[in-house]
Amino acid sequence: MALFSWSMQIIKRSAGHSAVAAAAYRAGERLHDDRRGRTHDYRNRTGVEHKEILIPADAPAWCQGIDRETLWNKVEAGEKRKDAQTARELRIMIPRELDPAERIRVVRDYLNRSFVAKGMVADVCWHNKTASDGREQPHAHVLLTMRPLEGDGFGAKARHDWVPDPTGRTHTDGRPVMVVSDKDSWNCPAYFDRCREDWENIANQALERAGSAERIDRRSLLAQGLSRLPQPALRLAWYMHDLYGCMKDRFGQFQFARHYRAVEERAKQAFRLVDHSPSRAGEAARMAERFFDWFDRQIERLEPPPREPEPTRQQQPAQERGYDR
C-alpha cells in the first residue's frame, strides 16, 4: 500500500548539528568539515542507491559542477552565528510500486519544480532499506540550502512577518486575523503546504503511469472521512523491543559473571595464604574460615525462599561442612 510520508527538519548549530556531517552521513561519503576541523567518514554505510546535487539553471559559475564537500563547507562558512540554521532536511517516502529508475526520475522532477526552481540547491540521496513488513522501503533524504545563490556566495534569507489580513478579517473577539507578509517566502507555512500537495500530485501521476491502482493522500484520516486511528510507527520501538530482550538476558549474564568473579578472587586470596605462608597459618585459617562463612551466606541469599518455614540451621565449623580445602 502506498503511503504519504513527507517531513522537514532544520539542521541547526544550537543542537550541535553540522551541514557537512549531515551530508556525509546521508551520502555515505568521507567529508572534511573545515569549520570544526573534523572529518566525517561514512563510506561503510549501506543502502545508498543513488545521489546527486541539483543546481538552479541560473546558478553562478562557481556553483556549476560543485562537489558535496565544497558546497556544504561554503554554506557553513557563510553563517556567522553560533546558533545559525544551515540547511533543511526533507525526507520523502517513495511508493514502492515504482521501479528503481522511475523513483529517481519522480523525485528529481519534484525537487526541480518545488525547490530548485525557487533558487535552492538540493543535495539528494536515494536510500532503500527493509521495512517492518519485510519489504523494501525506498525513500529520499534531501538537504536544501536556506539562502539563495548570489554573486560568489549566498544572499540573505527569504523571511516573512505576520501582519493583519489586508482584507480586514477579524476573529469573533475582534482581534485581526494575522497572515504572512510574503507568501513566497521559503519559511512560509503556506509554501510548505503547497510542497506537500505537489508531491502528492506528482507521485500519484507516476503511479498512474506505472499502471498501479495505489494512490497517496496527504490529508489526515479524519479529513479523508476514515473512522480509524493511525497505525503506530514501529521504527525505533520495533528495534527497541528486540534490544530490550537481548539486553535483559545479557545483563543477567553480566551480573552472574561479576558475582562469580568476586567469589573466585576471595577464594584465591584465602588459598594463596594457606599454600605459600606457613608462618602465617593462623591468619590464613581465619581468612579461610571467613571466606567459607561468606560463601555460605551467598548461597543462602541466592537460593529461592522455601514455601514452608524451616528451622534455623545451627552454625557448624567449616571442617564439619564437607568442604574440601
Q: Domain spans of the chain?
A: 6-229, 232-304
Q: What is the pLDDT at residue 226? A: 76
CA distance 204 to 19: 32
When pLDDT is cut at 50, 70 and 90, the band that residue 250 belongs to is: low
- Collect all residues with Cβ–Cβ distance below 8 Å to 300 and sequence separation of at least 6: none
Q: Is the pLDDT confidence value at 153 over 80?
A: yes
Q: What is the pLDDT at residue 190? A: 82
Share of the chain above pLDDT 90, in %: 43
Helices (H), 145-215: 189-209
Q: Which residue has the higher pLDDT, 98 or 271?
A: 98
CA distance 79 to 86: 7
Q: Is the pLDDT confidence value at 309 over 70?
A: no
Q: How far is CA 156 from CA 120, 124, 137, 294, in A?
A: 12, 23, 37, 74
What is the fold, at CATH topology level, of the domain defined by 6-229? BirA Bifunctional Protein; domain 2 (3.30.930)
Q: What is the pLDDT at residue 99? A: 93
Three-state SS at 10: strand
**What is this structure's pTM?**
0.67
Digit-coded pLDDT (tens) for 32-50: 999 999 999 999 988 899 9
Between vectors from CA 223 to CA 217 and to CA 226, what angle results, nearest 5°? Answer: 85
